[in-house]
Structure 1
Amino acid sequence: MSERPRVPLLLISGLSPGPGSQLADTLRAHEPGTAVVHHDLRHITSGVVRRRLQLGARDQLSALELAHGCVSCTLREDLLPLLRRLSRMPEVERIVVRLDEAMEPEPVSWALHNVLVGDQPVITDVDLEAVVTVVDRSTWFADATGEDILEERGLRASPEDERTVAQVALSQVEFADVLVLTGGAADAWTEAKTGAVLDRVAPAAARVELSGLDSAALRASIPAAARRGEVTDMHGPLLTGEPPLVPDCGVELLTFTARRPFHPDRLHDAIDVLLDGVVRTRGRAWVASQPDVAFWIESAGGGLGIGHAGPWLDSPEGPAWDEVSPERRTMASLRWHPDFGDRAQELVVLTHQATPEEIEAALRGALLTDAELAEGRAAWRHYPDPFGSWHEEPCDDTEVSPDRHDVSAQPRKDDTR
């Protein structure tokens, strides 16, 4: 008897539950044998998650009591085992997971590939066809550039969730293979700016309209080179998909690079420049007081996260060259310094009101001066360091990555403003 092929799986994310539900219903109606799973996290702070499972005539609502009330628990204790069971049911031909508004698809994809259910990850049973994000143009730009935190919208994914709405909005779009557009912006200028931002944060994602969309058209829109849930290395390229490099509607990309470290105090003072009038910041930083580890800096709207991205290749605890991606080896080879190895500053900043020149000047001013550079590493380690302690998520473990990226180097959010 031949082994059953992996069951196709589609992830749907987005901040607007109505259009997301509409898309899931469309897929289920057009494709018999489609199971639709949705976890409602609105009561997760009380340790309760409401799960809805639709399959054929079955429409089942369940209240799940979780030990810790967090997304990691929801994945580990319910969603992943459920996907394995569904994939082995003969009547299930496809699975659609409609993520809660507060969930980002990247950590879900990471869990599918890395968390063991029994003795294997779930990806051995399912074939992740695509990640689809629903974008409501009437609200998305304001969400992606605003300062609201999830708690203010009643959207927290755990009692300790301090993420901003902008962080979730942008993460959902950046990881998508297909953007399903709905609604209309309040005016032509906002619609144009929305398009300019999407062009730069998700240049490789296909765009289709929700109105009139059917399952065949959605699947036909998935790009041939879609990432399909592949989680990228934080030491990989920061610009992918050939985003436009020219300004549009005041939206502009700045790439900041430097071959000397930041002074920790001056970087801490300057870092607010990444919040005012900035849509998104992502990248790696080299801080003089902690020379052996790369910092990961990520901002969205009014939210800022700072964490560790693991050691540099040149660090004593750094990975071997054959343990990292070919892209990382190539980039390290091109910029290798006889004293500092692969250490470097690399930040990509997307602005919509701030001027790139002001951001560039502030970051340049935070670098070590020639005199400080000459003091050497022994002196740098004694600089006052406001980044010296790192917050561990209370539900963090080695089974489910609560944040994103490489399991060996999960970012820890040290500062959310």
Structure 2
Amino acid sequence: MPEGPETGLTLVCGADRATAAATAASLRGRHGVLVAHDLRGLGEGVVHRRVVDDDGAADTVLELAHGCVACTLREDLLPLLLRLARDPAVRHVVLLLDPGMEPEAAAEALHTLVPEGADGPVTGVLALRGVVGVIDAETWLDDAGSDDALVERGLGLTADDERTVAQMVVAQAEFADVLVVAGRCATPWDRVRLEAVLDRLAPRAERLTVADPPGGAPEIAVELGADVVTRLAGLGPDARRGVPEDAHAPLLRGQPPLSRDAGVSLLHVGHRRPFHPERLHAAVDVLLHGTIRARGRVWVASQPEHVLWLESAGGALQVGFAGTWLAAGADEWDEVGDERRAAAALRWDDRFGDREQQLVVLVHDADPAGIVEALDAALLTDAELARGEAAWRRFPDPFEQRHVDPCDDLPGTGVESSGRREGER
């Protein structure tokens, strides 16, 4: 059996640049290299890169022909990681992501893009040990439920970056294998609520609480680094380890608690009948207030072949195309993995096949019953259901038009994004 790569790679992400940088530095260790890109000048085609090894730090200013994350990855980061992987003196690489770079998108690039001169992706020569997410205990919960734009916080990659702070901080926490919760909450009650949210948002993540930021004292950073390394080495078989999951993966992996705690609850919404497209479009507003996260697979009656992926964070929502239901044709079965085929076979319905609604909603400051009631009211009535598929296709469908320019997909899901934000119709 061939052995895997000897050189390890750890990703570190966080919205607070200083705290995330201090955490990443604590992980480098001897014979390790820390790589960080500052993308604040990306809109002007300028990227600042820092590489720290046992000999010190080297800073480089990169000028890109096209200022974008993809160019930074292809033209600099991936070739650099390939060179480090080939250096026998390097034992470990720590990659600190810019706060505006989503960890799942970066990990997907590591798994799929092939640098020039390589035989395969970077993960073929660097063993991705896991993702470390760093969050601010005092501000994270407010940020995760907000609709503030990244550009308002100086975190946007370009002046027209429409993503929100909630989308970023939720994605960073959700994708982490180890979560470093830095700082102190304003009150003990705030701490209880934060823990309840993280239990449900990132149930598979190991969690470390650091009352004082790791940049405050060297001994704190050393202790934190040792703790994180230990947690990464001890990750269980269910850990993601930086591997993106597609839109058809189970929504409740890690067995998050479904009971209510400190006003925080995780709703699992499952239905067999389809949604009426216009009523669903009106109902999704309930997912944008008092919630942290909603995500899942949706079936609208007017598109009986298509799986729609719905994903929200705070006050931002995206709905996109996530492939085809297996019930749409026999050929589809040969195009999907074993896990999806097994799940579909277990839940197969004589009339609808594998078509169903599967949503999870993380609620922290809203009435769960109101969310369930609004979504239930968006389902087809018995009379509408009886009219049949030919009639359903004629329903006016706000979800029919999908965003294609720019053509960014939802990171890590293989989902074509509709790009909808709160207030858009």
TM interval, short-chain normalised: over 0.9
Kindly indicate whether residue 284 of structure 2 is the aligned counterpart of residue 279 of structure 1: no
Aligned partner of 1:242: which letter?
Answer: Q
Q: Which residue of 1 aligns with 2:110?
A: 112
State which of 409, 417, 420 in structure 2 corresponds to 1:415. 420
d(CA) in 2 for partners of 1:393, 1:158: 16
The residue correspondences of 1:139-150 to structure 2 (distance < 5 A) are 139-150=139-150
- SS in structure 1 at match of 2:328: coil
- SS in structure 1 at match of 2:11: strand
Q: Which residue of 1 aligns with 2:125?
A: 125
Range that drifts further, 114-123 or 56-65: 56-65
Kindly indicate whether residue 252 of structure 2 is the aligned counterpart of residue 239 of structure 1: yes
d(CA) in 2 for partners of 1:394, 1:61: 32
Classify 1:327/1:266 alpha carbon distance in 2 versus 1 (closer, same or farther; 3 Å).
same
Alpha-carbon offset, residue 77 of structure 1: 1.9
Query: In the alignment, is the contact (CA less than 8 A) between 2:23 and 2:225 conserved in 1?
Result: no
Q: CA RMSD in A?
A: 1.9
Classify 1:179/1:393 alpha carbon distance in 2 versus 1 (closer, same or farther; 3 Å).
farther
Q: 1:166-225, CA deviations, whole angstroms, 9 ceiling, x for partnerless residues?
A: 111111111111011210011122111111100100111111234533433222112222
Aligned partner of 1:197: which letter?
Answer: V
The residue correspondences of 1:259-274 to structure 2 (distance < 5 A) are 259-274=272-287
Aligned partner of 2:418: which letter?
Answer: K
d(CA) in 2 for partners of 1:238, 1:411: 19
Classify 1:414/1:5 alpha carbon distance in 2 versus 1 (closer, same or farther; 3 Å).
closer
State which of 323, 326, 330 in structure 2 corresponds to 1:310. 323
State which of 247, 250, 258 in structure 1 corresponds to 2:271. 258
Aligned partner of 1:59: which letter?
Answer: A
Query: In the alignment, is the contact (CA less than 8 A) between 2:27 and 2:229 conserved in 1?
Result: no
Query: In the alignment, is the contact (CA less than 8 A) between 2:151 and 2:159 conserved in 1?
Result: no
Aligned partner of 2:61: which letter?
Answer: A
Query: In the alignment, is the contact (CA less than 8 A) between 2:277 and 2:399 conserved in 1?
Result: yes
Q: Which residue of 2 aligns with 1:8?
A: 8
The residue correspondences of 1:210-249 to structure 2 (distance < 5 A) are 210=210, 212=220, 213-222=223-232, 223-225=235-237, 226-249=239-262
Kindly indicate whether residue 313 of structure 2 is the aligned counterpart of residue 300 of structure 1: yes
- SS in structure 1 at match of 2:30: coil
- SS in structure 2 at match of 1:235: coil
Aligned partner of 1:363: which letter?
Answer: L
Q: Which residue of 1 aligns with 2:411?
A: 404
d(CA) in 1 for partners of 2:139, 2:369: 29
Query: In the alignment, is the contact (CA less than 8 A) between 1:10 and 1:96 conserved in 2?
Result: yes
Q: Which residue of 2 aligns with 1:95?
A: 93
Query: In the alignment, is the contact (CA less than 8 A) between 2:333 and 2:341 conserved in 1?
Result: no
Kindly indicate whether residue 364 of structure 2 is the aligned counterpart of residue 355 of structure 1: no
d(CA) in 1 for partners of 2:89, 2:323: 44
Q: Which residue of 1 aligns with 2:341?
A: 329
Q: Which residue of 2 aligns with 1:34?
A: 32
Q: 1:130-152, CA deviations, whole angstroms, 9 ceiling, x for partnerless residues?
A: 10001110111111111111111
Q: Which residue of 1 aligns with 2:21?
A: 21
Q: 1:18-77, CA deviations, whole angstroms, 9 ceiling, x for partnerless residues?
A: 11111122223xx21111111111111222221111122242222222333222222222
Q: Which residue of 2 aligns with 1:387?
A: 399
Range that drifts further, 103-112 or 51-60: 51-60
Kindly indicate whether residue 173 of structure 2 is the aligned counterpart of residue 170 of structure 1: no
Alpha-carbon offset, residue 393 of structure 1: 4.7
d(CA) in 2 for partners of 1:156, 1:312: 36
Q: 1:320-349, CA deviations, whole angstroms, 9 ceiling, x for partnerless residues?
A: 24x433332222112212232110001000
Query: In the alignment, is the contact (CA less than 8 A) between 1:275 and 1:301 conserved in 2?
Result: yes
- SS in structure 1 at match of 2:259: coil
Count of matched residue positions in the alignment of Structure 1 and Structure 2: 406
State which of 45, 48, 51 in structure 2 corresponds to 1:50. 48
Q: Which residue of 2 aligns with 1:399?
A: none
TM-score by length of 1: 0.93
Aligned partner of 2:42: which letter?
Answer: I
What percent identity do the matched residue pairs reach? 49
Q: 1:86-139, CA deviations, whole angstroms, 9 ceiling, x for partnerless residues?
A: 111122111000001112211111111111113311111100011000111011
d(CA) in 2 for partners of 1:33, 1:372: 66
Range that drifts further, 231-240 or 60-69: 60-69
Alpha-carbon offset, residue 411 of structure 1: 3.1
Aligned partner of 1:173: which letter?
Answer: A
Query: In the alignment, is the contact (CA less than 8 A) between 2:306 and 2:323 conserved in 1?
Result: yes
- SS in structure 1 at match of 2:262: coil
Q: Which residue of 1 aligns with 2:303?
A: 290
- SS in structure 1 at match of 2:161: coil
TM-score by length of 2: 0.91
- SS in structure 2 at match of 1:320: helix
d(CA) in 1 for partners of 2:10, 2:379: 44
Query: In the alignment, is the contact (CA less than 8 A) between 2:247 and 2:415 conserved in 1?
Result: no
d(CA) in 2 for partners of 1:300, 1:26: 30
List runs of 5+ in structure 1 lacking aligned partners.
Answer: 397-401
